[in-house]
Amino acid sequence: MQNSGSKKNLYTLSLVVRDRPGVLVRIALVFARRGYNIASLTVSPGAEGGFSRMTITCSGDPVTLEQIIKQLDKLIDVVYVTDHEGESPIEVEIALVKIRSTLDNRTEILQIAEHYKAKVVDYGAETLILRVEGTSEKVEVFHELLRSYNVEELVRSGKIVMDRGPSHFAHMLKNGA
C-alpha cells in the first residue's frame, strides 16, 4: 500500500499474462465489477515470448483488493499476480509537462527542472516541454511546483515496477508451472 499524500490508499499490482486479445478487457472487468478504480495501467511485452507484463495502480479498500487478486488468479490468461504492499520494488514513472513560459519566468522553471533532473525536450518561443522521471511521488511533487507557471498539458506514463532480486515468474517457467 502506498500513500502519495492523497486521502486514498494506492496499491500496485504486477501481472504476467498470456499475450492474447481480450485479456486486458477481462482484467478491467474484474476491477469494474468490484467498484475499484484503476488509477494507472501499463502493459508491455515481457522478456519471455508470448507473455506481457502489466502494472496496475488502483485505489479502494484492502478487503476488496484481496478478492480482486483471487479473481485475477482464476483467469485463464493470468499467469502470475503480485501485490507490492509492504515491498520496496524498483518504481519508475515518466511525465511530459508542457508549460507556457515567458522570458521573465523561464529561468525559474529551468531551475526547478534542473533540481528534479528533468530534461528540456522542446524549447519553443512560448512553451517548454519537460520530461521528468522517477517515483510517482517525485513526478507529482514536480507537477505541483510547476502549477503556478501555467501548465498547459501533462502526460504521465503510469507507474512501472519490478521486484528486486530473483524473478518469481522466471522461476515458475523453469519449473514448468
In the numeric block, which cell numbers belong to residue 78?
493470468
- pLDDT confidence tier of residue 47, bands split at 50, 70 and 90: confident
Q: Examine the fold and report which residue of 50, 70, 87 is the final residue of a domain before the chain moves on.
A: 87
User: Could you tell me if 78 and 103 lie in one domain?
Assistant: no
User: Could you tell me if 124 and 140 lie in one domain?
Assistant: yes
pLDDT at position 171: 54
* Residue 167 pLDDT greater than 80, yes or no: no
**7-16, 25-34, 149-158: which has the minimum mean pLDDT?**
7-16
User: Could you tell me if 60 and 101 lie in one domain?
Assistant: no
Indicate whether 83 belongs to any domain: yes
User: Could you tell me if 82 and 110 lie in one domain?
Assistant: no
Indicate whether 4 belongs to any domain: no
User: Could you tell me if 82 and 95 lie in one domain?
Assistant: no
Indicate whether 68 belongs to any domain: yes
Mean predicted confidence (pLDDT) in 70-76? 95
User: Could you tell me if 65 and 29 lie in one domain?
Assistant: yes
CATH number of domain containing 155:
3.30.70.1150
User: Could you tell me if 96 and 153 lie in one domain?
Assistant: yes
Mean predicted confidence (pLDDT) in 13-29? 94
* Among 96, 105, 106, CA closest to 143: 96
Indicate whether 174 belongs to any domain: no
Mean predicted confidence (pLDDT) in 161-172? 72
Indicate whether 173 belongs to any domain: no
The residue range of the domain holding 70 is 10-87
Mean predicted confidence (pLDDT) in 3-21? 77
Cα distance between residue 137 and residue 158, in whole Å? 12
Mean predicted confidence (pLDDT) in 73-95? 91
Indicate whether 170 belongs to any domain: no
Share the mean pLDDT of the chain.
Answer: 88
